[in-house]
Every structure is written in C-alpha cells, then in structure tokens.
Amino acid sequence: MAHETTVRFGILGCAHISIKLCKAISKAPNATLQAIGSRSLEKATAFAAEHTLPAAVRVYGSYEAVLEDDEVDAVYIPLPTGLHVTWAVRAAARRKHVLLEKPVAMSVAELDRILEACEANGVQFMDGTMWVHHPRTAKMKEALSDDQRFGQLKWIHSCLTYNPGPEFLKNSIRMKADLDGLGALGDTGWYCIRAILWAMDYELPKSVVAFPGAILNEEGVIISCASSMHWEDGKSASFHCSFLTYITFDVTFLGTKGCLRLHDFTLPFEESFGYATFCEASELDFGKIEEGRWCPKPNEHVVETEFTQDVWMVKEFADLVLKVKSCEIKPQKAWPLLSRKTQLVLDAVKESIERGYQPVEIVS
C-alpha cells in the first residue's frame, strides 16, 4: 500500500520557500505532494502552473481546505510567524502531522499551545531547520566529540546576516510586527541560537545578554541585533544577526584542543554538487607558527550527500510520521523539545533587548 511507505504532504501557502519544499517533497523517497492551498485559488493555481506541480496535486483556495483533505497526512506550514499558532493548532486538531517553518512562534507561550495540540492529537511536530538534517552535521558532531583532537568546547561565535535592501526593510512581511515580528532575530538569529545549542548538546545557557545597539524599526521589529549566552560551567557563545549586511552563514566552534569553522552552515556552498565541507584544525605546532609557518594547516573535511538538506529534512520527518501512523512509535518528543529550547533562548534575547540589555536568566 502506497500509504504505508509514503507521507502525503499538504502545503499551507505559496510562500517563496514553498517552491523549495515542493521540490524536496518530490525528491524524498517517502513523501509525495498531495495538496497546496493559498488564500486565493487563483494564486494557488498560478503557483502550481509556474512550478509545474504534478497534475495529481490538489490545489485549494484556502488553508482550511488543505486541512480538510483526508488524504493529506502532514502539512508544511511556511506562513508568517504570527499565523503559526492558529494554523499549526488547527492542523494538529485535524490530525495532520506538522512540519513548521522557523521561527516556530512569536513566543514560547505560543509554541506551547502548538505542542500541546500536537501531543493531544498524537501527531509529530518538527521545525523547518534544515541544516541539522544534513549528513555534514552528524560528521561535525563527531569532530566536536573527539576529545583527542577537539578537547572541551569553550566558545562559539555565529554570524548570520543578509542584506535584502531598502524595499524589503520597508515592505516585507518580515518587517511587520503582527506577521514576522521577530525580524532578523527570528529569521537568522534562530539559526545561530540553534547552532550554538546543537554544539552544547542542547544544554540551555543559564543566561543571555543582548548587546547594546540593537536596531529596531518603528514597529519594534528587530533589524539587527547581537547577544552573548553563558553557561554555568564557564562556556560562552555569541551571535550576530542582521538584515543590514552582506550575506554570512558563519559559525566557529572553539575547543581546548581544536577548532571547527564553517562559512556556510545553514546552506552548504556545494550542496547542489552532492557534497559539503567543513574546516577543522587541531594539533598545531607552535614552534613552526613562530617561524611564520602554520603546521598543520586546517583540514577540510568533505562529506558526500545523496540528497540536499531540505530533502533529508522531509525524509526524516516523513520517516517519523510513517512510524507514528503505523503505531510503531509515539510522536517523538525530541524534535519539539529542540524547537522549544531554541525559542526559549530567542525569547530571552528579545527580553534582554526590551529590558535595556540587562541579563536574562533562562528558566526552562
């Protein structure tokens, strides 16, 4: 039976990122695109035509229609953040498994409503953070866990920025308080926080402190900000996210014996060519440095990948959904927990900005 090996996806909204997900769903071996809905049938039909979706894909003139389709198992929700709680809760109530674009909610309180709805209805929840599903990420974790080469993790810095220009800053939904009210913090800061938590094995920091000088628009939406994060045992991290500068996807993990760096952590440079790289340095000869020679130079690790990371994400989510549908497992709580921890830190950074850059304790 096709239903047992394939998850039938519905997509709520014809956002730009929906194009990527349509492709990813078509490429994932355990997923198929069943339906797409927009607020207008015209828009949904035009989207289907423009992106040559298969004729079998059902095109709806409302999000509700997608949720009412009994042959939709799971939904991908790329709607503006301010609409997440409404539509994710409705989707769960319709027993649709939920793949929710990041940032998952405007606050942890909203996310908790979503997670409660998912739990109550026995559906799997996962957020749309793609890079964690790339095989490179698992290889990086191996490198960070190598006590001989990397030692103990002490410091992380991440910088994720892009410059979408003045038109975006004026009119984009990511600049509207009621739609994507978290701005750059939600859009790119989310990835920084997630990378930091990922490396820290998802141990929450005890506190965060935003840097003075965050830039907000007149609606209070964050255009640019930075923050540090602090752990009980002395580990620290910092990150910078912004809509005002050239594109960066940087992260540096620094241990007592080694260092791991990426400039493309959220989207591998060479992904479409079937591989991804990261740079790891260790066991440096200090004497040679003083002679003006770095020895050894950092290693470039190359990780081959069968799929791009969006496909891996869909596949991993669909695997869980299939197991839940066949009653093999209950919905996994690990994924919602990672989303929740990320949102918890994000909320704390926002609070620190609102409180004049005071430290904010993290209470989970």
CB 157 within 8 A of CB 239: yes
Q: Examine residue 352 and tell whether it contacts a copy of itself (CB under 8 A).
A: no
**Measuring CA to CA, which residue among 255, 207, 202, 209 is closest to residue 232?**
207
**Beta carbon nearer to a copy of itself, 187 or 271:** 271
Strands (DSSP E) found in the chain: 7-12, 31-37, 58-60, 74-77, 97-100, 125-127, 153-161, 207-210, 215-216, 222-230, 236-242, 248-255, 258-262, 275-282, 299-304, 360-361
| Number of neighbours of residue 356 by Cβ within 10 angstroms | 8
For position 3 contacting a copy of itself by CB under 8 A, the verdict is no
Site string for a copy of itself, 229-268 (x = CB under 8 A): -x---x-x-x-x-x-xxxxx-x-x-xxxxxx-x-xx--xx
Among 7, 53, 159, 322, contact with a copy of itself (rule: CB under 8 A)? 159
CA angle 48, 17, 239 (to 5 degrees): 180
**In 10 A of CB 122, how many CB atoms?**
14
Shortest Cβ distance from residue 97 to a copy of itself (Å)?
26
CB 48 within 8 A of CB 332: no
CB of 282 to a copy of itself, least distance (A): 7
Question: Taking contact as CB under 8 A, which single stretch among the options 26-34, 184-192, 288-296, 319-327 is the one that binds a copy of itself?
Answer: 288-296
315 catalytic per annotation: no
With contact defined as beta carbons under 8 Å apart, do 187 and 103 qualify? yes
Kindly calculate the radius of gyration of the chain based on its CA atoms and give it in whole angstroms: 21
Number of residues that bind a copy of itself (CB under 8 A): 62
Among 70, 167, 218, 290, binds a copy of itself (CB under 8 A): 290
Stretch that binds a copy of itself, among 50-58, 68-76, 153-161, 328-336 (CB under 8 A): 153-161
- Best CA proximity match to 140, nearest among 251, 260, 255: 260
- Residues involved in catalysis: 102
Residues forming the site for a copy of itself (CB under 8 A): 20, 151, 154-155, 157, 159, 161-163, 207, 209, 211-213, 215, 224, 226, 228, 230, 234, 236, 238, 240, 242, 244-248, 250, 252, 254-259, 261, 263-264, 267-273, 281-282, 284, 286, 289-294, 297-298, 308, 357, 359
